[in-house]
A and B are shown apart, each in its own frame.
Chain A
Amino acid sequence: MTLHLEIWRQPGPEAGGGFVSYEMDDAVPDMSFLELLDVLNERLERAGEEPVAFEHDCREGICGSCGFLINGRAHGPLRGVTACQLHLRHFEDGERIVLEPWRARAFPVVKDLVVDRSAFDRVIQAGGFVSVNTGSAPEANALPVPRADSDRAMDAAACIGCGACVASCKNAAAMLFAGAKVTQLALLPQGAPERRRRAAAMVEAMDAAGFGNCTNERECEGDCPKDITFANIARLNREYLAAKLTR
């Protein structure tokens, strides 16, 4: 099949960028989207040109490295799928496809489709953990956790930190990302002692990193490759409010 790609090329953080067109007439429906970029890049490398920089690692949808906007949608048109697991059989022969990096103040472009997502790490460093040192843990079964709570904690913990939620949000908010972690740990008794402090610290770190605020449009939920639900944001707000009221 043939695909017409329009790819955002930007040599570095300070440089200007723009779209460059590439004709791909050797695409195969069984290829993943990243394999299509591999083919393009091999062609460019053979010609001595710089290949398109894009982030990727596990190619199984779990590491969270990959991701860019495909026709304006984070990770492309399919729900619940990362770019690496998106196969070309979901595109039409002859289709024109536009690729752009995540666009957010907190995620500056490094090169081409690669952005700097270290702001996410800073949000976790602020409080996305249980303060337990190695060796000080009680027997694992000492504290039963209702299965429903554990399951919901797992639903939230499935977040891969890819940044699609930020990219799809018109405010570039990171509330789905932070909400998922806050929810996971608030639902478990192990995380309960720090829940208030955690929510307050993570929200503060989000603000400091330059992420926007949620205005309830749920774009993040629609584009999340791991189906993290909007309810996580509601919980973040509740935890944050409680933290502020009980301080």
Chain B
Amino acid sequence: MAGIALDGKVPAGALGEKWSRHRFDVTLVNPANKRHYSVIVVGSGLAGASAAASLAELGYEVSCFCIQDSPRRAHSIAAQGGINAAKNYPNDGDSVYRLFYDTIKGGDYRSREANVYRLAEVSNAIIDQCVAQGVPFAREYSGLLANRSFGGAQVSRTFYARGQTGQQLLLGAYSALSRQIGLGAVTMHPRHEMLELVVIDGVARGIVTRDLVTGRLHSHAADAVVLATGGYGNLYYLSTNAMASNVTATWRAHKRGALFANPCFVQIHPTCIPVSGAHQSKLTLMSESLRNDGRVWVPRTQGDTRAPAGIPEAERNYYLEERYPAFGNLVPRDVASRAAKEVCDRGYGVGATGQAVYLDLRDAIDRVGRTAVEQKYGNLFQMYEQITGEDAYQTPMRIYPAVHYTMGGLWVDYNLMSTVPGLFVLGEANFSDHGANRLGASALMQGLADGYFVLPATIGSYLAEGARAPAGTDHAAFRAAEQDAEQRSRRLLEVSGNQPVDHFHRELGRIMWDRCGMSRNADGLREAAARIPELRERFWREVNVPGSGGDLNQPLERAGRVADFLEFAEVVIQDALARNESCGSHFREEHQSEDNEALRNDADYAYVAAWEHRGVGEPAVLHREPLEFEEVHPTVRSYK
């Protein structure tokens, strides 16, 4: 693939007309012919479920796969805060253009203009669709939809369903998918994990899955494969991601030729419940909507162990309000996270570990009363109490940043097709739209935009234009892929060492968090790069995966995913090392201003870094897609 030119396939024309022109230009598939085309959708979260349902409604023959026992459980369900759209219902100056502008600026100018504009453009139709499905968004007494401002936006454009927006949107997409399953238009395969992408003559033609209950491997052939398998935040072991979230599907596709873009762009969310001990299995997010009313502070004295209530106003450092007077507690996630790390690193952190800051709703409770605060955030306070045993109405919450979302993912063009023809990638699994930092309430928007509106419009061109010879599961490539998958499982079972899988996952997470986390430097990254191959080797020598491959074997599932993380980690580090600038979530300590703000380098790094796999342990090869800004002019992202 040397010398591969990355063509983003951005349509010609003015920014505001690209998408409608493109929809006119794409080749349509005759309605009667759609049933002759089969599409595999891997993943059943917002992107996967919405895509599977919408493609089936159009008449394609769809099969959908998920690792959970039901498509309703995908990790999209855990999103709390909301979904953005440019409806401008509050009449506060929002527009498609402003949503586009905020998103591309929030991403620190590391995303493709045309993609982001399209995202803003289809945002309104998503809300219409969800309401029609019966998603119970919050409403005003007028009966009309309510909005709130969220995560760094200065307009109120976020639609929400209490603190459970992701759940309600996913259940909406799940209901649409269920309807198509009931109609026989989608064949659903729950408890199936994709272990291989099958590529024939350079084109994606199917997948190999493992039935997680029987252990059996199955080949599935189709005219196109869609990956909507989410992000790779669990690379860090502790994250807000669900336990089963993993990189396996995208990594295996990467090894078969799909380039991986911007893997070092990992979002660290500022408002999570801090780690309490060594037994910690995951971290819990406190919706950042709390930052609308909560004030973030630490004591002005280092190592101040007084109870927060006993610390007088003058001795509290509301560091976000002081440092960023214009945005205050509502600065974007990357800025808020880094500021928390800084004050804690300087010894001002609170709680038993000193790795926490206060998020205080006292003033809001005084201003609007406890009942009003309860109505808005009741479920969050309840969750906080369940986990910490503390009542946040009486004492401020303690929060600390945690890995939350991955902006990086498989490289896709404007049609959401990867560098492997016939392989499409949606939602968090692709790299598009959020650049180096994602704004709050934009993940749900992107997942549903990709699945409901973008892919159904773009996949037809690929299916209609490519004249491909039929390739069934009897093709030798399927046998070979099955053998690869089978062999890997067998190898994992045969190591018979004495360490459980999590032992290695935890160690990998610690390396990545310390060296390739909220801030990075070349020395630390090089050290991490040296330790990963050593850890991987130890894993393959010492891991113990009990049981057999012939039934439900949860350690075997985890082992396969951790083995992939141990390979994937290297390209994340390589990407972080190669990007000699600070942008968005990627903060390189060598590149900061005197007052510790990120220094972006547009002259040398205004590109998408897309990596080509050259073998495990071999350095990946970098391909660059230059980012051209015709509409906006990249400026220093200032929230002061």
Contacts and interface: CB of A to CB of B under 8 A. Distances in A.
A63 B555 contact: no
Interface string B129-148: 11111101111111111000
B386 A87 contact: yes
Interface stretch (B32-40, B174-182, B256-264, B460-468): B174-182
Given A130-B132, A147-B143, A161 B70 contact: yes
A32 B388 CA distance: 10
A57 B73 contact: yes
A110 B453 contact: no
Contact of A28 (B89, B164, B279): B279
B131 A48 contact: no
Given A132-B132, A137-B125, A144-B143, A125 B179 contact: yes
A202 to B, nearest CB: 11
Contact of A35 (B168, B242, B281, B544): B281
Interface stretch (A37-45, A167-175, A209-217): A37-45
B628 interface: no
Given A129-B175, A145-B143, A146-B143, A85 B546 contact: no
A118 B69 contact: yes
Contacts of A134: 50, 53-54, 57, 129, 176, 452-453, 456
B217 interface: no
B554 interface: yes
A147 B139 contact: yes
A85 B171 CA distance: 21
Interface of A is mostly: loop
Interface stretch (B103-111, B356-364, B494-502): B494-502
A221 B71 CA distance: 25
B242 A63 contact: yes
B136 A64 contact: no
Interface centre among B75, B125, B136, B144 (most CB of A within 10 A): B136
A87 B284 CA distance: 14
Contact of B134 (A28, A64, A130, A140): A130
Interface centre among A58, A145, A147 (most CB of B within 10 A): A58
Interface in A18-64: 28, 30-32, 34-35, 38-39, 41-42, 44-46, 48-51, 53, 55-64
B554 A51 contact: yes
A65 B69 contact: yes
B233 to A, nearest CB: 13
B282 interface: yes
Contacts of B57: 133-134
Given A55-B69, A110-B552, A190-B134, A129 B281 contact: no
Contacts of A28: 277, 279
Interface residues of B, number: 86
A61 B77 CA distance: 10
Contact of B78 (A60, A132, A153): A60
A44 B501 CA distance: 12
A129 B500 contact: no
A211 to B, nearest CB: 16
Interface in B504-561: 544-547, 551-552, 554-555
Contacts of A38: 279, 281, 502
A85 B179 contact: no
B638 interface: no
A126 interface: yes
A57 B243 contact: yes
Nearest to B554: A53
A158 B136 CA distance: 10
A161 to B, nearest CB: 6
Interface of B: 50, 53-54, 57, 68-73, 75, 77-78, 87, 89, 124-125, 127-134, 136-145, 161-162, 164, 166-168, 171, 174-176, 178-179, 181-182, 188, 190, 213, 242-244, 276-277, 279-282, 284-285, 382-383, 386-387, 389, 452-453, 456, 496, 498-503, 544-547, 551-552, 554-555
Interface of A: 11-12, 28, 30-32, 34-35, 38-39, 41-42, 44-46, 48-51, 53, 55-65, 80-81, 85-87, 89, 110-111, 114, 116-118, 120-121, 124-141, 143-147, 150-151, 153-154, 157-158, 160-161, 184-185, 188, 190-191
10 nearest A-B residue pairs (beta carbon):
A144-B143, A137-B132, A129-B175, A125-B182, A45-B500, A154-B136, A137-B128, A134-B54, A140-B131, A57-B242
16 contacts: A38-B502, A46-B499, A50-B547, A53-B552, A57-B73, A57-B243, A59-B243, A63-B75, A63-B77, A89-B389, A137-B133, A138-B128, A140-B132, A145-B143, A147-B141, A158-B164
Given A35-B280, A45-B545, 10 more contacts: A32-B281, A42-B500, A42-B502, A51-B554, A59-B243, A85-B387, A143-B131, A154-B161, A161-B70, A190-B132
